[in-house]
Amino acid sequence: MMQSLILRTATRLLASLILVFSVYLLFRGHNSPGGGFSGALVAGTGFALYAIAEGAASVRRAIRIDPRDLIVFGMGLALASGLPAAFSEKPFLTGLWWTVAELPDYRLVLGTPFFFDVGVYAIVLGTILTLILALEES
Amino acid sequence: MTRSGNPLTEWIGRATAVLPLLVVLAVCGLLPKTAAGEAYRFSLSWVPALGVELSFMIDGLSLLFALIISVVGFFVTIYAVDYLHGHSQIGRFFVFLHAFMLSMLGLVTADNVLALFVFWELTTIFSYLLIGFEHEASASRKSARQALLVTGAGGLALLAGFLLLGIITGTYEISEMVDFAAHLKAHPLYGAVLVLIFLGAFTKSAQFPFHFWLPNAMAAPAPISAFLHSATMVKGGIYLLARFYPILGGTNAWMCPLMIIGAITAVGGAIIAMGQSDLKKILAYTTITALGIMTMFLGGSATPSLTAAMTFLLVHALYKSALFLVAGIIDHQTGTRQLEKLGGLLRFMPFTAFAAAAACLSMAGFPLFFGFIGKEIMYKGALAEVMCPELAAGTAVLANALMTAVGGVLIIRPFLKGPGHYPSPVREATFFMWCGPVFLGGLDILFGIFPEWVGHWLVAPAVRAFHFSPEDIKLHLYHGINMPLLLSIITLTLGVCFYLTHRRIHDFVAKATNKMPVTASQIYEWCLEGVAGLGKLQTRLIQNGSLHRYFFIVAATFVLVTGYSFFSRAGALPLPGLPLLALREWLLIIAITAAVLTVLATRILLLAVCALGVVGAGLAIIFLSYGAPDLALTQLLVETLTVVIVSIILLRLPGLGSQTRQHPGRGLLDALLAVGAGVLVTTLLLAVLSTDLDRSITAFFEQNSYLAAHGKNIVNVILVDFRSMDTLGEIIVVATAGLAGYALIQKKRDK
């Protein structure tokens, strides 16, 4: 934790923006540069900045859950995203897609790869946070 | 031992006796079929691509083993509840026990050699867990490890043998291999197959020189010794030899090793048994003797020899499991297993004494006991052999006479002779403890008086399963006055002589075993130390903890190996010329070079890290300028995060300061390696680029990523859709690395 007023003020402004950007990267990843891995790295950087400025305890308060649980959750989600295919007698992890909403110009489709990507996101972010917080607290 | 058992667990443990009981009933249901010479077979597909099937076949041989396993398993289960009464780990015990029993049943019924191998190693693992059951005692752990290493290594040899068999015959099913027997015996690899299979059988069945693990395995609780180390697992090797007899057996190469090793094991085990005073050790060494006798007779080729092996298998399983259970009762009720402290138990333990007497007399081979029949058929077999019948008969007489003496010692010393010295009053064991030995001992008498029944239902089908001969296989109580009867009388007379001098023999053997210059056990220890020493040596040489050295070795290996193979095939890939670069690329190169020089020159850690970040960012811009935004993004983010994380660490470290290198030449060497690696990689990449690339894969993804996977970003679509299994593996690695790193940091903090 650094006692720098500039850093702390800037962090408060930046951290939320960084996190929004991270989620944006995650969502657009399927069609443009981004995805679960990149998104998680951005989020990890944001939390690291927050940890340096405000201390590890503040990060723990902010994320509420143990980062190790995040890893477990991500792993479960990634594995579970392969199951629908397996149940419909296709190879494990085959992508399945559903149309959620149809508008005149747009069609919103949702597929199992999205959940897989969210799983990747959770695992990578969980890993980064686990390490950063452990280092910051030691 | 912790005494805080849970009554509920104990009841569940006792209830699990239903499992072996059901197996007994199921196996008995197949009796008429196998007695008629038929086999019951079924199979499930397991790994069809590798020829691994879960196929099972129950013929007479499997049935005999399955019956021994399930009957002894049943009595051991109910016995163990009272034996381990109050033990805190009793639940674990029953899980291991039944898991072992099922693996053993799988082993003797498997028809696919690879499935057989899996069950074989499962029995090894569960025996390891059971021998090491009292895992708080270091002797127990050591013995368990020894048994695991010896039988596990033998199992690996066995696997190699099975694979060779599969390659030669083209099938992994035992029942199909039989058709290739003649082809196999003429094959140049026949000798290798034999050696490998023998290694497996000899380690499992504790044949010389691998016999030493069995007496040490007596660290296990008594029910385990009764089950694994007398009745079932150690007979796995015997089963294997019998099962492969029609495929590999009958040649000189098969007979000689089995007869010689078997004979050495039989006599050696019996002599050492005379020098022991611990009840379980005596039983362990006589088990080795019995296994040696069975191995020896499986080396024979006449029908009576093989019948003798199978009969003695049943004889031994009955009396030895009863005796181990009796030894457990004595230990449990009196607190000691030392012969010299015991005596006069007949008065306190009538039921146990009856069981012990029946089993011992069977072991000694007295008429009207099952052991007598086993001995008679043994002598008949030995005399019917073509290959040195005198040796076989002589060995059998000597080993049997010694066993007679041991049987006498075991019944007379603890039960009949003078009063023992016990710390507390001795009582008879509970019903559940003595019913097993009494039943098994009773069978010794029943089978001894009516051997025709056992011969017809159990022994004959077992022998028929692996040996084709028109000869009749019948067991009789009385064969008339002939050579075997004479040998029996000699055996008993010799046995009585040995018994009368057993004190002197005991002292002599005990002294002699102490003075042995080299024992198999010591050779095992040397091997173990050798392996540990080798491990230490390579750790000192290669894994000395210096990151610098690791990286140097890896990079140098890469440069030398890749460089050599690249330049030695200089014609295969054209050496490229240097491409023309635009101005912005030159600027980037200059920036990266400056950053690298900064890293090398600076003494301030944070500056070094940031300069390293500049190098990474420069690379990211190069990626971007060549049209790989995904790669550039990831590279930039990883680089940023690395700088942040390393900064967090470095903020806590002292600066590099005036730390100097130990050797002035080392810097030069590092520089040379770095330049060499750089030049090599650059040349390689340019060479690759100068050839025509196969773009069909790219074309496939370009066409399919939107149509099949609803995504326009090919990189991401590949990651989460086309190759998502790879990504799954990678994120598992990431998660594991994260948790491992966390554990490391946590450990550091606790110190």
Task: Give me the residue from A32, A45, A123 closest to B731, CB to CB.
Answer: A123
Q: Which residues of B touch A117 (CB under 8 A)?
A: 716, 720
- Is the minimum CB–CB distance between B728 and chain A shorter than 8 Å? yes
Q: Which residues of A touch B748 (CB under 8 A)?
A: 138
Question: B545 vs chain A: nearest CA distance in angstroms?
Answer: 21
Contact at CB, B734 and A124, closer than 8 angstroms: yes
3-state helix, strand, coil in chain B (%, to 5): 75, 5, 20
Average pLDDT of chain B? 87
Residue B691 has pLDDT above 90, yes or no: no
Residue % of chain B over a pLDDT of 70:
96
Contact at CB, A130 and B742, closer than 8 angstroms: yes
What mean pLDDT do residues B251-266 have? 91
Identify the pLDDT of residue B484: 85
**Tokens for B666?**
């080392």
Q: Which residues of A touch B731 (CB under 8 A)?
A: 74-75, 78, 119-120, 123-124
Identify the pLDDT of residue B656: 55
DSSP H or E run through B54: strand B52-58
- Is the minimum CB–CB distance between B532 and chain A shorter than 8 Å? no
Question: A47 vs chain B: nearest CA distance in angstroms?
Answer: 10
Contact at CB, A33 and B637, closer than 8 angstroms: no
Task: Give me the residue from A44, A113, A128 closest to B721, CB to CB.
Answer: A113
Best residue in B638, B731, B732 for a mutation probing chain A (most A CBs within 10 Å)? B731
Identify the pLDDT of residue B726: 92
Best residue in A127, A132, A136, A137 for a mutation probing chain B (most B CBs within 10 Å)? A127
Contact at CB, B731 and A79, closer than 8 angstroms: no
Identify the pLDDT of residue B446: 93
Contact at CB, A31 and B737, closer than 8 angstroms: no
Identify the pLDDT of residue B11: 85
Contact at CB, B735 and A136, closer than 8 angstroms: no
Task: Give me the residue from A34, A36, A41 closest to B638, CB to CB.
Answer: A41
Does the CA dihedral B26-B29-B35-B39 come out positive or negative?
negative
For A92-125, write each residue's pLDDT tens digit: 888 888 888 888 877 778 888 889 999 999 999 9
**In A76-119, beta strands by DSSP E:** 97-102, 107-111
- Is the minimum CB–CB distance between B712 and chain A shorter than 8 Å? yes
- Is the minimum CB–CB distance between B736 and chain A shorter than 8 Å? no
What mean pLDDT do residues B441-452 have? 91
What mean pLDDT do residues B440-455 have? 91
Residue B661 has pLDDT above 60, yes or no: no
What mean pLDDT do residues B55-77 have? 93
Identify the pLDDT of residue A18: 93
Best residue in A22, A31, A52, A98 for a mutation probing chain B (most B CBs within 10 Å)? A31
- Is the minimum CB–CB distance between B741 and chain A shorter than 8 Å? yes
B393, B305 Cβ separation under 8 angstroms: no
Ramachandran class of A3: left when φ > 0, alpha when ψ lies in -120 to 50, beta otherwise: beta
Which of B497, B305, B277, B293 lies closest to B402, judged by CA?
B497
**Tokens for B17?**
């006796």
Check residues B704 and B595 and name the one with the higher pLDDT. Answer: B595
Give B 617-646 residues with CB within 8 A of chain A.
629-630, 632-634, 637-638, 640-641, 644-645
**Tokens for B383?**
């005399």
- Is the minimum CB–CB distance between B721 and chain A shorter than 8 Å? yes
Chain A residue closest to B742 (CA)? A131
Q: Which residues of A touch B737 (CB under 8 A)?
A: 127
Helices (H) and strands (E) in chain A, counts: 6, 2
Task: Give me the residue from B719, B734, B746 closest to A127, CB to CB.
Answer: B734
How many Cβ contacts (< 8 angstroms) between chains A and B? 140
Chain A residue closest to B717 (CA)? A30
For B17-33, write each residue's pLDDT tens digit: 899 999 999 999 989 88
Contact at CB, A117 and B712, closer than 8 angstroms: no
Contact at CB, A124 and B731, closer than 8 angstroms: yes
Task: Give me the residue from B630, B633, B724 closest to A113, CB to CB.
Answer: B724
What mean pLDDT do residues B50-55 have? 81
- Is the minimum CB–CB distance between B707 and chain A shorter than 8 Å? no
Best residue in B724, B725, B727, B733 for a mutation probing chain A (most A CBs within 10 Å)? B724
Separation CA B304–CA B144 (nearest Å): 37
Question: A60 vs chain B: nearest CA distance in angstroms?
Answer: 15
Question: B547 vs chain A: nearest CA distance in angstroms?
Answer: 20
Q: Which residues of A touch B742 (CB under 8 A)?
A: 68, 130-131, 134
Task: Give me the residue from A52, A113, A137 closest to B720, CB to CB.
Answer: A113
Contact at CB, A68 and B637, closer than 8 angstroms: no
Which of B217, B243, B245, B237 lies closest to B229, judged by CA?
B217
For B144-162, write each residue's pLDDT tens digit: 999 999 999 999 999 999 9
- Other CB atoms within 10 Å distance of the CB of residue B61: 26
Separation CA B389–CA B399 (nearest Å): 15
B414, B342 Cβ separation under 8 angstroms: yes
**Tokens for B450?**
């009516």
B226, B359 Cβ separation under 8 angstroms: no
Residue B111 has pLDDT above 50, yes or no: yes
- Is the minimum CB–CB distance between B740 and chain A shorter than 8 Å? no
For the ranges B452-456, B575-579, B601-605, which has the lowest average pLDDT? B575-579
Check residues B517 and B305 and name the one with the higher pLDDT. Answer: B305
For A10-62, write each residue's pLDDT tens digit: 998 999 999 999 999 998 888 888 888 999 999 999 998 898 888 889 999 98
Residue B3 has pLDDT above 50, yes or no: no
Question: At A3, which amino acid appears?
Answer: Q
3 state SS of B44: strand
Chain B residue closest to A131 (CA)? B742
DSSP H or E run through B311: helix B303-334
For B304-358, write each residue's pLDDT tens digit: 899 999 999 999 999 999 999 999 999 888 888 888 888 888 888 889 999 999 9
Q: Which residues of B touch A124 (CB under 8 A)?
A: 731, 734
The C-alpha angle B248, B252, B256, rounded to 5 degrees, equals 100
Question: A8 vs chain B: nearest CA distance in angstroms?
Answer: 16
Contact at CB, A75 and B719, closer than 8 angstroms: no
Residue B682: pLDDT band by 50, 70, 90 thresholds? Answer: confident
Q: Which residues of B touch A95 (CB under 8 A)?
A: 708-710, 720-721, 724
